[in-house]
Structure 1
């Protein structure tokens, strides 16, 4: 069993860091980097909305992690046979009611942060924000937990990719182009370019979950947690991983062929690293091999997104 900690040996600070899973924060930072890079290129950069978009995204990410930790434990999906990183609820390091309370507090802070973004972006941001929080809870909680019915990958692709990137671009564009508390969608705040720019983030963010679910496929199936990896099996889950990587590298090429300069191809510098990660995912099943691959996929997301954003700014 990988990464299991004894409750007596873990400080409160370390325990909460384990629950928050800071190694997943690239999934919150990446869409803000890309959305902001595009906003700078379009002359629509607004620093405060960009910062608050990151704070809100990070809080939703951490809140989702807390909810996942709590609900997987109380539903019995996390067991002693699981090979992933230590879950604080299941292992008894933090009491379930404390993790549940932390989930509510974190999502409440995300909503509070979002009030400024609603002021800037109006009704569209209110709708997006509430849906993002609701989906973060519904990923493993509620009457129809998305992650238990093969919908987790779609949730991540949509909310940590498309919605997060286009939303980051939108709030900055709205700050520059529109009046506060707008009801509709102001002209120039939503574009096909922003949607396409979101696809690499969506793809690699989803691949973090793919690695996680390939690692946990056997224990998830035994616990009745029907992830997409459980439905697809190892072979097609690996096909999904490669396809999402291909999407991440095809989009910069498309941008380059459509009036962006060659610097937009900077993400291709990460291809050798991506190939190493892909080789592990396509040949291994154990937590010993896939836990490092999970962290490396997060690092790949951060590097690809930073280079993509830089490439758009200086192109």
Structure 2
């Protein structure tokens, strides 16, 4: 099946999924699995199912975001950081929803497998994750339209995915797993905040009340940097208290990437200048997360 404009339907769905953001869903799975593997728990089937389900849910969430932003009039032909499938007429809004629901359906079946493998605890955690995805994107007042969106992403993508990924391997989780996930929460929240700094003018016109709109651009940049600092400063503290092994300090090798986004986000004033730093923040999250996961595995 083809979409208008020459691209295939699958191609449009791919770009709607915002592929550069999908590593944000994969990294916490890798880290949670690495924590479990370091304690002798690893099974390939649950790992692959968790990884694919997490990425598909993130892709579907991105598609829902584009659908609802279009419905609320936030997206225009001049918008930066969107696929443009709807506003440029390449796909109908209904086709976007169908794509998102297809991904959710596949994720549901993978989730049922994970519940079968991991038991009631996975069912409870999975329901919390599904609820988080819904209230973030949908409903009369989605969290994505408020100043609490980064906090929600911190908890659901930074912490909950790590906890579930660990639990499907080890059969349960403990407080140290939650604490170990905190640096990833800070970085994934920073990705979203960079996105919201870029989009603050269009979001204001659409009635959103995101952090940069509530606190102003300089306030948004300050909070962004606090999330980055939280991630990098928490790792040595966790090592000092024995929550993660000393080898987790490998994550600090990503400091050069940190410096680039730390400086760049403050210098960029218009959406086209900020957009590369959204992607660079996602890249920082990826590199930090891979090194952090390796460190956890080596421990």
* TM-score of Structure 1 vs Structure 2, range by shorter chain: over 0.9
Report the Cα distance in structure 2 between the residues aligned to 1:15 and 1:122, rounded to whole angstroms: 37
Q: Does 2:42 correspond to 1:58?
A: no
Please give the per-residue CA displacement for 1:153-209, whole angstroms capped at 9, x wherever unaligned. Answer: 1221111111001111111111xxxxxxxxxxxxxx221221111111111111111
Q: CA shift at 1:9, angstroms?
A: 5.6
Q: CA shift at 1:230, angstroms?
A: 1.4
Unaligned runs of 5+ in 1: 1-6, 175-188
Unaligned runs of 5+ in 2: none
- Secondary structure of the 1:8 match is coil
Q: Who is 2:65 aligned against?
A: 68
Indicate which of 31, 34, 45 corresponds to 2:42.
Answer: 45
Q: Who is 2:264 aligned against?
A: 280
Q: Who is 1:185 aligned against?
A: none
Report the Cα distance in structure 2 between the residues aligned to 1:141 and 1:202, rounded to whole angstroms: 22
Q: Does 2:13 correspond to 1:16?
A: yes
Indicate which of 265, 280, 287 corresponds to 1:296.
Answer: 280
Q: Tell whether the 8 Å contact from 1:150 to 1:228 is kept in structure 2 after alignment.
A: yes
Q: CA shift at 1:266, angstroms?
A: 0.5
Please give the per-residue CA displacement for 1:96-140, whole angstroms capped at 9, x wherever unaligned. Answer: 011111122211211111001111222232232233233323323
Runs of 4+ in 1 over 4 A off after TM superposition: none
Q: Who is 1:179 aligned against?
A: none
TM-score by length of 1: 0.88
Q: Tell whether the 8 Å contact from 1:77 to 1:225 is kept in structure 2 after alignment.
A: no
Q: Who is 2:295 aligned against?
A: 311
Q: Tell whether the 8 Å contact from 2:18 to 2:83 is kept in structure 1 after alignment.
A: no
TM-score by length of 2: 0.93
Q: Tell whether the 8 Å contact from 2:77 to 2:84 is kept in structure 1 after alignment.
A: no
Q: Who is 2:149 aligned against?
A: 152
Report the Cα distance in structure 2 between the residues aligned to 1:274 and 1:126, rounded to whole angstroms: 36
Q: Tell whether the 8 Å contact from 1:46 to 1:172 is kept in structure 2 after alignment.
A: yes
Report the Cα distance in structure 2 between the residues aligned to 1:262 and 1:127, rounded to whole angstroms: 32
How many residue pairs get aligned? The number is 296
RMSD, matched Cα: 1.8
Q: CA shift at 1:217, angstroms?
A: 0.4
- Secondary structure of the 1:291 match is helix
Report the Cα distance in structure 2 between the residues aligned to 1:70 and 1:241, rounded to whole angstroms: 26
Cα separation, partners in 2 of 1:91 and 1:127, compared to 1, 3 Å: farther
- Secondary structure of the 1:139 match is helix
